Structure 1
């Protein structure tokens, strides 16, 4: 059962984390919530327990991470009450705790509060939050548990005492809608949960005409419940109003209210019985009808939903002349085809392709035996056929044997393609091309600097410089033929190992295309080579790989400017690219666990953060040259593209015409181009 009510903002205690104080930034971390269970006096009905779910998907952190205010004792109507704010992006959920870093204001008036926090005198904080959805359950012989599964913390306050009951619900803040979802709502015999809800609504409406404003809600933590109870007991209680005999008008209103409640009960019983009756007649599940009742669906809407459910069940199974196949299920032919493919793949590589249960019956069969079974499953008799006739018929008839061979070839090729070590994707960016036309990549310049505008002055216009790089994808391919001789000789390697070698070849081709850009140093759109002194990404004199030379290269990248020749980009290198000959040297340079005996040989942490990439294709050009590359998330480097929908190797099959068998075509649509030289740096080496 679900119900929507209006609720005010809540308050709940939390605590500072004193050991996280940072005097320089005047900030400190707070544990703003652990979701602990607290007692609440409800806006209506009996008291209940409230629990905040600390699952990340249940807490909306947008307002905290946007820089929510840090207030003084929840004072939300005075600017002086804002004594700081949440550091944007610091709010998070860790191990079931809500954590955020608070930065206090530099105002003189806040200085005393900051000193008290440093000294440990102020340790308690409290959060303000809104609940959008409660899940309500009723454990056996316990109070109702209201568990917030969708809620928003929107402010954090410094308070003198945690869990101060006066800090909650006594302001005139606006209310907001909250959904109550009752999972274990008790019902009386013969009545539905909706009946209870209707009766409560009617009775509440009646009482609102004769009773005072709803009771203010308070909160106590388990650890401070006794003290809070004493505090409330000491508060002066409102004097009871003298009772008097109800006036005739009041008695008439009471009679009208009773009539409304009785009418609501009768209408609810009619709705429940009608929905159950329709569901029973149409042989629908009882749970479907109960769900409609709990959701408060009207009779007219229930009729429509019941008819939709009947139509959906009728479409679940369609009957054909010889077989009934449930929609969304697995066709027997497809299942058998995949089982045979798995048996052949397991025979090729047991470690890469574990044997599935459905494939066990095909495990010991030869290619000829599988071809014969495929023909017989398709309805063709193979009695008296020679091995050559079986092979020819299996490859050219309507059997599914060519599809089985193609599936095995495709999987072995893809597996080998993905297993080949490709190093370029780490510092290059992948895109998709929609066609084979030239793609133009615009290298935008930086936004123009803002200029001071005087009184009654005009805003001056600025322009963005740009540089355009163009490239297109190319098509590469070969054809693999599986002939009838392969079947007769039971030569499994012909369509497992050979396609695997093609998969390696395709992956190697991609690496060749990309690394050729680095070694050939092609010209960019401005007519200058990729690595050139004009681009400020080529060392003037070669230097061996070491701390000093890497430091100079890193400084050169940081000082790269935009196309306006003025804006400093501060490009930070992320990868150290070396030939195979320098792989060990690069790993020693960036090693995290090596401590030199002399302090002068210590490698700075900024260099240790570089990720080494060793590529043997670089050795053919130079065994001493090394490179730095930035992350493609910061700036463009080299871009590579596939044709959309055909990333990586693509397979097509057809019955052979030039060969007596099945032809399998391997195709790759691929292209690459250096887009920006500022994210790359080269040193020719010693």
Structure 2
């Protein structure tokens, strides 16, 4: 009888022969299998024996002979774990053993490993293999024997201790199909013993039972929770010369094997179910039987499951998302596409919803949540979709968030070019230190002493403030299929928030507030305000540049040489500024040539400046050179933030829009103002 099951890739220890190392060719020979029988622990069943057939027709050597990787401890997820490869065509079956030649990489980080292999310090290797077909039999009075008659070795790994079952293979492994072919006891008695590989020579068959191999199976569902002891060493006695030990020794041997089976089974089950290791250790120490341990482990899993909230009507396909999440995203995309086909292209998953009205989408959400909508009026559908366990409010929330964010990010905020952004951890006042010049270096004579210096500084303080508004969208909106309420209104909020940020920052420029020293931001004392206003021209800009370059530190003597990067003008002077910094003008009169230093300025036109003065213009340095104006968001709430909830005061959905924002001029030396003609 054949049965199809799914198995992960498995491991077995093998042997590396350091005496076969060739220093010139950087090769060494490995015995990757001797076909010995090993003990395996099933998930919820009795342990079974596994035997790898070394019949040439049973072993697929293609992957080894194609140059399979030689890894460090089965690390499948990192390129630097590859320390060599199997020499193509060297894998073979010889005298009942699997043999291959491995060539070691010439990378610098692999050189210490190669030296340890040559010195004989690294002798243990392990192979990874997949079994495609087992022949399962159960001799009278014995445990099941799973004999691999179709299997593929696919990688070889160097391991520190071959017999250490705690060597962890933490990479998630996929499952592969394996056929179990079961044979009854009568077939076993009539035919040849499945314990013997018919292809082995007599010498190999006699030596085979004494070979031992350690095994380790990874948990495909939870690779990070593997037990510390999984492998059981077994020794099979030759059938040709059975040995009859004394009764006391046989009893002791069976007792030891039984205890090893009990311990490994308990650790295996607890690890696969991701239980704490301490729970398994307690069962082992108390001597609890395997059957009783299974019951206690299931009770522990059930108790832990009761503590975890579960959600009905949820299907999570392998490799994908929760289908409810996928559906919500598709419906939201269909609504956003109706709002703006250019900004939000229609996705394939959303095509089935593009022609549905808001009320039809609300009815489908109720149906998916298990609510019977047959016979419900339009008003009842709208009310229940907004006040039930359906995901319709979440869909509306996703639509409003995306439209608001899109509008907020596309609104032009010109201040971001010359201002510095920071994050505030709370709403308390933030003190910003205005750093002065570094102390000048002094000559140090022979055997002289380095003198200490201090930084000049001045403090500016400001804090983040909260701005917000709430708007309600009623159930009438759904009934009327008014999509604009969920798209246009949030988009308007997005623009409004961006405008508020610009109002706060540019308000600092136009209001000219006082700094910590008591003087206004633009003041003759700060040497950043022209005494006489002049029209925007080359000479005036040159004088402003010179004034910024001559700014000094707090010691009043260290020249900072501040270089402007931006020319800031009101909308009335936008064309004049663009003409001034144009790169492609070659005047015939050399007296009208615009210097390169001015043409490198980036023009910024801001209409908020016109309300204060249509003639004043400014220069600003890059915030990377010196502080100018700093603006801050609350940490974790950068930019516009929107929340939705089922209405309490109104019968519908309430949308709350919030902004946590603040700004302050930190240093006047990076700014310059000319009042204009």
- TM score, norm. by length of structure 2: 0.61
Select 2:220's aligned residue among 302, 310, 313: 313
Cα distance in 1 between the residues matched to 2:533 and 2:86:
76
**Counterpart secondary structure, 2:619:** strand
**Counterpart secondary structure, 1:381:** coil
1:529-561 C-alpha deviation (Å, 9 max, x unpaired):
000010010011111111111111001111111
Cα distance in 1 between the residues matched to 2:447 and 2:660:
58
Within a 5 Å distance, the mapping from 1:22-33 to structure 2 comes to none
**TM superposition shift of 1:597:** 1.6
- Give the RMSD, CA atoms, in angstroms: 3.7
**Counterpart secondary structure, 2:529:** coil
Within a 5 Å distance, the mapping from 1:397-436 to structure 2 comes to 397-436=388-427
Report the equivalent of 2:606: 615
**TM superposition shift of 1:302:** 7.3
Cα distance in 1 between the residues matched to 2:501 and 2:365:
38
Name the CA shift for 1:328/1:196 in 2 (closer, same or farther; >3 Å): closer
1:429-461 C-alpha deviation (Å, 9 max, x unpaired):
000000000000001222222333456655443
Report the equivalent of 1:443: 434
CA contact (8 A) 2:314 2:322 kept: no
CA contact (8 A) 2:87 2:103 kept: no
Select 2:366's aligned residue among 375, 399, 418: 375
Name the CA shift for 1:419/1:197 in 2 (closer, same or farther; >3 Å): closer
CA contact (8 A) 1:578 1:626 kept: yes
CA contact (8 A) 1:573 1:679 kept: yes
**TM superposition shift of 1:567:** 1.0
Are 1:523 and 2:514 counterparts? yes
Report the equivalent of 1:160: none
Cα distance in 2 between the residues matched to 1:561 and 1:312:
68
Which segments of 5 or more consecutive residues in structure 1 lack a partner in the other structure? 1-41, 47-139, 141-177, 199-203, 209-259
**TM superposition shift of 1:499:** 0.9
Select 1:495's aligned residue among 462, 486, 508: 486
CA contact (8 A) 1:187 1:196 kept: no
Name the CA shift for 1:300/1:329 in 2 (closer, same or farther; >3 Å): farther
Report the equivalent of 1:472: 463
Select 1:189's aligned residue among 84, 91, 94: 91
- TM score, norm. by length of structure 1: 0.60
Cα distance in 1 between the residues matched to 2:595 and 2:539:
10
CA contact (8 A) 1:480 1:663 kept: yes
CA contact (8 A) 2:434 2:459 kept: yes
Name the CA shift for 1:333/1:179 in 2 (closer, same or farther; >3 Å): closer
Report the equivalent of 2:655: 664
Within a 5 Å distance, the mapping from 1:575-586 to structure 2 comes to 575-586=566-577
Within a 5 Å distance, the mapping from 1:360-399 to structure 2 comes to 360-399=351-390
Are 1:356 and 2:347 counterparts? yes
Are 1:511 and 2:502 counterparts? yes
1:75-128 C-alpha deviation (Å, 9 max, x unpaired):
xxxxxxxxxxxxxxxxxxxxxxxxxxxxxxxxxxxxxxxxxxxxxxxxxxxxxx
CA contact (8 A) 1:194 1:296 kept: no
Cα distance in 1 between the residues matched to 2:525 and 2:567:
22
Cα distance in 2 between the residues matched to 1:338 and 1:505:
26
Are 1:300 and 2:207 counterparts? no
Select 2:676's aligned residue among 667, 673, 685: 685
Name the CA shift for 1:300/1:634 in 2 (closer, same or farther; >3 Å): farther
CA contact (8 A) 2:125 2:157 kept: no
Aligned residues: 451
**TM superposition shift of 1:325:** 2.8
Cα distance in 2 between the residues matched to 1:481 and 1:303:
60
**Counterpart secondary structure, 1:314:** coil
Which segments of 5 or more consecutive residues in structure 2 lack a partner in the other structure? 1-21, 27-65, 67-79, 93-97, 106-110, 135-145, 173-216, 224-271, 274-304
